[in-house]
Amino acid sequence: MRSSRIIFAAMACLVAASVFLWSAGRSKGKGGRYEFPFLRSAKKGDTAAREAAARDWVERFNAGIKDEKQYRALVLEMRDFDAVQMKAAIKALMEDSEADLSQRMFIARLLLSILSGTDPDGTVRFFENDLAGKGDAQIRASLFGGILDGISERDPAKAAGYFKSHNDLWADAGERNRAAQELLYGPASIDPGRALGMIGKMGDVDPVKSVRTAFSSRPIELGLIREFVAKQSGSMSDGLLRGGFGLYGEQMVGQSFSAAVAQIDSAHLSAEEMLAVARGVSGQDRTGDIRPGREMNGEQIPVDYAKWLGWLENHLPAEEYSDGAARMAEQWAKQDPNAAENWINSLPDGGSKLATITAFVNASATVDPDRATRLVMSLPEADRGNLLSVIQKAAAGE
């Protein structure tokens, strides 16, 4: 399902760009507006004639879908559809056909997005009434996502409300959360505050992932996070705090250690906020590798893992430190395995060292099995067995 939505989104961007470029350079007809001949006469007719013209377009689209030149020409014709023709074309595209399903659904989604940008409520009613029972669950969820995209450009709050009232289109929680993040990206790219304002109105979505999406392309604004945390309650408030202040912690790791700590200290964090920042520094919700920042001259800022690990020891609860240190050591092992190995060897025997070596083995068993084996052999014999097995399986390609 995820892959199909990516395809739809990618195709939408390509076609939208081609339509825009074509439109900017096209010659205009009478009255400054160009109309294709087959639509020009239809627009003078009644609703039935306009619908028939749109269905004719779909027949030609289905027939010419494999011909790139004809495909582009047909898509350009589509730009002159009015609302009546768009709806007729959508219904025709939903009918059984031997033509490529993904391309037909992409066009249907694009038309729904255009319709919902000017008539959000009417487009939702059209989806609920005229498209009822059309397509499987995956297709219906994708098409409704197109409607929400169109609405969110002008009215993010309304888009969030419709997402909540149609949560059942995504029966799987994972798919629903992925759809939520996709919906948030557009408003977030304009203003993180617009995306944050949507999260609490979207129903059953993951607040941690959602707030991370809201600030996916910008530094965290702690004041804005605090404002929205205060407006929520329960798990939503907790999730916004964890996601927002945790992402702030992640962003700090990419800066100079001394500058980052000074910034954290000047933020006047509450105990709860500081704990969320520390968990973020440790990578509690990080989905990729640590990304070092850059100086003004463009040079990369090295991550001072040893200092950050010392900082974590003072800011994470004792019962969380082992796992947090292990996550950071795993990142260190990818960037500077020699330094990471030396630091791990300096640890006293115990749960923290075992957890850290386990993380190191998971990160390095395939690319550096000798180093991973050396570290495992520094553990008490009773703790070695499972880890040595991991290394052996990695060497065997399992």
* Digit-coded pLDDT (tens) for 66-123: 778 888 888 888 878 899 999 999 999 999 888 888 889 999 999 999 999 999 999 9
**What CA–CA distance (Å, rounded) separates 313 from 168?**
44
**What CA–CA distance (Å, rounded) separates 151 from 115?**
9
Using DSSP's 3-state secondary structure scheme, residue 212 falls into helix
Structural domain includes residue 210: no
Q: pLDDT tens digits for 17-47?
A: 444 433 433 334 444 433 334 444 445 568 8
pLDDT of residue 295: 63
**What CA–CA distance (Å, rounded) separates 213 from 177?**
11
The 10 Å CB-count burial string (b at 16+, else e) for 297-311 is: eeeeeebebbebbeb
pLDDT of residue 39: 40
pLDDT of residue 31: 40
Closest CA to 375 of 395, 355, 394: 355
Furthest CA-CA distance within the chain: 87
Whether the predicted pLDDT of 152 surpasses 60: yes
pLDDT of residue 44: 52
Structural domain includes residue 267: yes
Whether 114 and 16 share a structural domain: yes
Q: pLDDT tens digits for 154-165?
A: 999 999 999 999
**What CA–CA distance (Å, rounded) separates 248 from 271?**
15
Q: Are 289 and 250 in contact (CB under 8 A)?
A: no
pLDDT of residue 36: 39
Structure tokens at 394: 């990695």
pLDDT of residue 209: 93
Structural domain includes residue 170: no
Whether 342 and 307 share a structural domain: no
Structural domain includes residue 127: yes
Considering the chain, what is the average pLDDT of its residues? 84
Structural domain includes residue 37: yes
* pLDDT more than 70, % of the chain: 87
pLDDT of residue 26: 37
Whether 312 and 347 share a structural domain: no
Which residue range is the domain that position 351 belongs to?
324-398
Domain boundary among 272, 291, 316: 316
**What CA–CA distance (Å, rounded) separates 347 from 7?**
48
pLDDT of residue 350: 81
Q: Are 54 and 85 in contact (CB under 8 A)?
A: yes
Whether 276 and 353 share a structural domain: no
Whether 307 and 335 share a structural domain: no
Whether 232 and 305 share a structural domain: yes
Q: pLDDT tens digits for 380-398?
A: 888 888 899 888 888 887 7
Which residue type does 245 have? F
Please measure the distance between the N-terminal and C-terminal CA atoms of the chain and give it in whole angstroms.
Answer: 28
**pTM of the full predicted structure?**
0.76
Whether 311 and 328 share a structural domain: no
pLDDT of residue 67: 77
Angle between helices 2-25 and 101-118 (to 10 degrees): 60
Q: pLDDT tens digits for 325-380?
A: 888 888 888 888 899 889 888 888 887 788 888 888 887 888 888 988 999 999 98
A 10 A CB-CB count for 347 gives 16
**What CA–CA distance (Å, rounded) separates 193 from 225?**
9
Structural domain includes residue 212: no
**What CA–CA distance (Å, rounded) separates 196 from 227?**
10
pLDDT of residue 248: 95
Sign of the CA dihedral 233, 235, 236, 238? positive
Count of the separate structural domains present in the chain: 3
User: What is the number of residues in the chain?
Assistant: 398
- Which is more confidently placed, 15 or 200? 200
Whether the predicted pLDDT of 63 surpasses 90: no
Structural domain includes residue 381: yes
Whether 306 and 373 share a structural domain: no
Angle between helices 271-282 and 234-253 (to 10 degrees): 50
Domain boundary among 316, 341, 376: 316
Domain boundary among 114, 134, 154: 154
Whether the predicted pLDDT of 310 surpasses 80: yes
Q: pLDDT tens digits for 211-234?
A: 999 998 888 999 999 999 999 889
pLDDT of residue 291: 76
Q: Are 139 and 105 in contact (CB under 8 A)?
A: yes
Whether 281 and 332 share a structural domain: no
**What CA–CA distance (Å, rounded) separates 85 from 367?**
58
Whether 114 and 147 share a structural domain: yes
Residue 141: pLDDT band (50, 70, 90) is very high
Structural domain includes residue 105: yes
Whether 283 and 335 share a structural domain: no
pLDDT of residue 65: 74
Structure tokens at 253: 């790791």
Whether 234 and 354 share a structural domain: no
